[in-house]
């Protein structure tokens, strides 16, 4: 593919199923509409042979449709290894993100969802979405809401409107962007008059009553707008002489704006001028899906370019933050109305923002000031400070996300666990986020899902995890803090690509490998329809040499218990069965390779590698190096495929040695 064709494909991927006009694509790529159509024609045939297609609709534009994700992903890697689904603006790899996306559609946008269409749009299998749907049922059940079917393939949420609003408030706005903004704008008690939560409730009530569909980030921006409007009025900086056409007074949005303002006035004993009501109506008209206002392709394209430059300068992934982009667009559009009509809007936060966040303020002015639709105006610092707020909130979110998500485990999960949590937070709050505190027997797949590090006051050496584990004292002594700092350093500097160069400690690594793995413990399972029981029986037979008579039965019992706690299946192709507590006298690792794959359970139907680990109840020297290498193998599909190309113990050994630290 030509360079411009790759760029065009990247834009279609990032649109994530939305339609893009040829005008938008031409503007973004700095080419003509005609050239865009020519490139689309060139790649359409190529994509049809590689699991995808380009759908075109008159008046809407072009959209990428994925028919076979695996085939298409392989095609992308062949075309350019840097092109993959991570370019999609919204990350649906985590179940929580997928579920939030679905609930946003069902509740905030009041949609009936077609499951087949949703599966293709989100690039996930039907089985994955069915699992998400089942979890959503459990999430909404306490609010007396339920998922109902309009037809066999269509779903919607059924329940009383007040219950829907209660759920929306707690689920979408319990810990949101607004909390991040408040961290910056609450330092002088700016919003003591009315809470963000109360404003959210008022907007939700009035907009849902008139079926104005607003997404969560749009509601957040409206709350911020109203909060700053209140402050402007209190300091005597009202908007005047808007010059808005009178026909806006007859719109649904204007009526909704009047009711919102009236409720706020009654709540805090403040009087809004009619200009503020009209200005709120303009915000609603530009944001809601029932209005006739359309986004400007050129503005979006230039904002994308500005965010890409800002990303390079700051190191934060601003260009892929869909909430940041939409937040800025939703602010810039009514801002252009103000600029066109010479409306000056003072910003009561200006001095604080410039004083405390000058670098972000200057970056906002410099890069967003290069947008052509803004460049032709003289814009005061108050307006730039409003835009800076969006950048500040996004950067704070990234800083928080960069903290290592940490799970704390103690014997019971109480008392001593809370003590350890307090000490860890005091020492490492700038680097770690505590996601949960658990007792040993509370460990399960769900609790491990988000963890990137485990800090435990009890030894977990007999259990295998995909993330680092640090064994510490409840009192977190100096040696413990040193160990945690080392782990933090290694995680922050971790290169997730598997390094295939010769290891400088090759001799040491060979000793580690040979001490734990042998040809006698390696088995290839040829053929089809091989059962899980058959594989485990064979591997356990190998591991049971020189062990007690009841070794196999105890191992099966312990493996089943471990599986009930999660973390047996490390990926769709790699299973690592191991006991909760050590059973064997000596450490053993038995390996099964199944070229054609087998079904571990309904969800994992193509497992090709099984590492049966049996820790010793005496000592487990070098086992941690082997388990770390297994985790690296899980992360490298290329290395797995390489092993499967020539399934011999010698070939496996040569590849596995590359993974040992």
| Model confidence pLDDT, tens digit, residues 153-207 | 789 899 887 788 778 877 776 655 555 555 555 444 445 567 777 888 888 888 8
**Number of separate domains in the chain:** 5
Q: What is the CATH number of the domain that holds 648?
A: 3.40.930.10
Grade residue 598 by pLDDT with cuts at 50, 70 and 90: very high
Phi-psi region of 328 (alpha: psi -120 to 50; beta: other; left: phi over 0): alpha
Q: Are 471 and 522 contained in the same domain?
A: no
User: 262 pLDDT exceeds 90?
Assistant: yes
Give the pLDDT confidence score for residue 454 in this predicted structure: 93
Q: What is the CATH number of the domain that holds 147?
A: 1.10.10.10
Give domain status of residue 501, yes or no: no
Q: Are 653 and 512 contained in the same domain?
A: yes
Q: Are 9 and 140 contained in the same domain?
A: no
Grade residue 307 by pLDDT with cuts at 50, 70 and 90: very high
Give domain status of residue 390, yes or no: yes
| Pick from 295, 331, 290, 293: nearest CA to 110 | 290
- With tokens 């904002």, the residue in question is 303
Q: Are 314 and 385 contained in the same domain?
A: yes
Tens digit of each residue's pLDDT (9 = 90 or more) over 327-355: 788 788 878 877 887 777 777 788 888 88
Q: Which domain-ending residue is among 360, 382, 400? A: 400
Range of the domain at 514: 506-657
Q: Are 530 and 650 contained in the same domain?
A: yes
Give the pLDDT confidence score for residue 508 in this predicted structure: 81
Grade residue 279 by pLDDT with cuts at 50, 70 and 90: confident
Mean pLDDT across 634-660:
91
Tens digit of each residue's pLDDT (9 = 90 or more) over 626-637: 988 998 898 888
SS (H, E, C) 145-162: CEEEEEECCEEEEECCHH
Mean pLDDT across 631-658:
91
Give domain status of residue 361, yes or no: yes
Q: Do you know the residue count of the chain?
A: 661
Give the pLDDT confidence score for residue 494 in this predicted structure: 52
Tens digit of each residue's pLDDT (9 = 90 or more) over 26-49: 877 767 778 888 889 888 888 888
Q: Are 333 and 407 contained in the same domain?
A: no
User: 395 pLDDT exceeds 90?
Assistant: no
Give domain status of residue 515, yes or no: yes
Q: Are 526 and 627 contained in the same domain?
A: yes
Q: Are 386 and 452 contained in the same domain?
A: no
Q: What is the CATH number of the domain that holds 480?
A: 3.40.50.2300
Do the Cβ atoms of 541 and 582 come closer than 8 Å? no
- How far are the Cα atoms of 275, 337, 344, 415 from residue 242, in angstroms, in the given order? 6, 9, 10, 60
Give the pLDDT confidence score for residue 90 in this predicted structure: 43
Q: Are 565 and 650 contained in the same domain?
A: yes
Give domain status of residue 272, yes or no: no
Do the Cβ atoms of 379 and 338 come closer than 8 Å? no
Q: In what order do the strands lie in the sheet with 432-439?
A: 432-439, 404-410, 453-456, 469-471
Give domain status of residue 353, yes or no: yes
Give domain status of residue 451, yes or no: yes
Which tokens is 228 given?
Answer: 């700053």
More confident residue, 290 or 422: 422
User: 540 pLDDT exceeds 90?
Assistant: yes
Cα(610)–Cα(349) distance, integer angstroms: 59
Mean pLDDT across 131-141:
88
More confident residue, 559 or 68: 559
Q: Are 643 and 545 contained in the same domain?
A: yes
Give domain status of residue 596, yes or no: yes
Question: What percent of the chain is predicted at pLDDT more than 70?
Answer: 84
Q: Are 476 and 515 contained in the same domain?
A: no
More confident residue, 104 or 97: 104
How many CA atoms does the CB half-sphere of 192 hold within 13 Å? 5
Which tokens is 342 given?
Answer: 């010479």
- How far are the Cα atoms of 207, 505, 612, 625 from residue 659, in angstroms, in the given order? 56, 12, 18, 9
Q: Are 525 and 561 contained in the same domain?
A: yes
User: 496 pLDDT exceeds 60?
Assistant: no
Give the pLDDT confidence score for residue 362 in this predicted structure: 94
Give the pLDDT confidence score for residue 248 in this predicted structure: 65
What is the average pLDDT score of the chain?
A: 80
Q: What is the CATH number of the domain that holds 354?
A: 1.10.1790
Which tokens is 200 given?
Answer: 């959210």
């Amino acid at each position: 593919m030509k360079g411009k064709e790759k760029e065009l494909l990247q834009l279609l991927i990032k649109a994530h199923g939305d339609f893009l006009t040829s005008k938008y694509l031409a503007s973004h790529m700095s080419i003509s509409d005609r050239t865009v159509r020519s490139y689309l024609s060139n790649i359409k045939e190529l994509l049809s042979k590689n699991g995808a297609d380009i759908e075109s609709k008159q008046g809407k534009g072009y959209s990428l449709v994925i028919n076979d994700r695996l085939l298409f992903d392989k095609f992308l890697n062949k075309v350019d290894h840097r092109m993959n689904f991570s370019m999609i603006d919204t990350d649906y790899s985590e179940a929580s993100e997928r579920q939030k996306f679905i609930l946003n559609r069902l509740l905030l946008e009041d949609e009936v969802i077609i499951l087949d269409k949703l599966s293709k749009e989100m690039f996930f299998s039907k089985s994955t979405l069915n699992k998400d749907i089942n979890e959503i049922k459990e999430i909404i059940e306490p609010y007396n809401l339920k998922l109902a079917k309009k037809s066999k393939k269509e779903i919607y949420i059924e329940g009383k409107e007040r219950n829907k609003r209660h759920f929306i408030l707690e689920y979408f706005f319990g810990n949101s962007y607004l909390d991040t903004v408040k961290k910056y704008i609450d330092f002088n008690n700016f919003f003591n008059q009315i809470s963000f939560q109360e404003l959210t409730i008022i907007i939700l009530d009035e907009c849902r009553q008139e079926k104005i569909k607003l997404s969560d980030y749009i509601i957040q921006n409206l709350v911020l707008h109203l909060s700053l409007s209140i402050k402007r009025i209190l300091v005597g900086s009202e908007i005047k002489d808007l010059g808005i056409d009178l026909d806006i007074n007859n719109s649904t949005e204007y009526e909704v704006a009047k009711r919102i303002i009236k409720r706020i006035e009654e709540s805090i004993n403040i009087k809004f001028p009619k200009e503020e009501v009209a200005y709120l109506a303009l915000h609603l008209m530009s944001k809601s899906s029932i209005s006739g206002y359309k986004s400007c392709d050129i503005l979006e394209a230039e904002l994308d370019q500005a965010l890409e430059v800002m990303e390079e300068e700051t190191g934060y992934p601003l260009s892929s933050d869909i909430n940041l982009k939409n937040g800025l667009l939703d602010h810039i559009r009514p801002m252009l109305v103000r600029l066109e009509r010479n409306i000056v809007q003072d910003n009561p936060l200006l001095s604080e923002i410039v004083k405390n966040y000058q670098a972000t303020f200057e970056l906002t002015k410099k890069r967003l000031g290069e947008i052509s639709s803004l460049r032709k105006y003289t814009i005061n610092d108050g307006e730039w400070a409003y835009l800076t707020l969006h950048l500040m909130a996004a950067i704070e979110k990234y800083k928080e996300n960069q903290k290592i998500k940490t799970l704390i485990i103690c014997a019971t999960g109480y008392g001593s666990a809370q003590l350890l949590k307090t000490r860890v937070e005091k020492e490492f709050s700038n680097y770690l986020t505590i996601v949960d505190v658990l007792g040993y027997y509370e460990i399960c797949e769900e609790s491990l899902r988000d963890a990137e590090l485990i800090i435990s006051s009890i030894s977990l050496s007999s259990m295998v995890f995909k993330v680092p584990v640090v064994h510490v004292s409840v009192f977190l002594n100096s040696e413990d803090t040193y160990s945690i700092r080392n782990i933090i350093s290694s995680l922050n500097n971790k290169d997730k690509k598997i390094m295939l160069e010769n290891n400088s400690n090759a001799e040491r690594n060979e000793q580690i490998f040979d001490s734990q793995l042998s040809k006698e413990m390696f088995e290839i399972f040829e053929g089809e329809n091989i059962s899980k029981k058959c594989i485990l029986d064979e591997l356990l037979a190998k591991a049971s040499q020189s062990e007690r008579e009841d070794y196999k039965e105890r191992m099966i019992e312990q493996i089943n218990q471990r599986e009930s706690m999660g973390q047996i299946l490390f990926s769709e192709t790699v299973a690592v069965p191991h006991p909760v507590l050590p059973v064997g006298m000596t450490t053993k690792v038995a390996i099964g390779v199944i070229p054609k794959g087998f079904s571990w359970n309904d969800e994992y139907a193509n497992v090709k590698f099984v590492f049966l680990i049996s820790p010793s109840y005496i000592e487990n020297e070098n086992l941690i190096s082997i388990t770390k290498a297994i985790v690296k193998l899980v992360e490298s599909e290329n290395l797995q495929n390489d092993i499967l190309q020539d399934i011999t113990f010698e070939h496996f050994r040569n590849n596995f040695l590359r993974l040992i630290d």
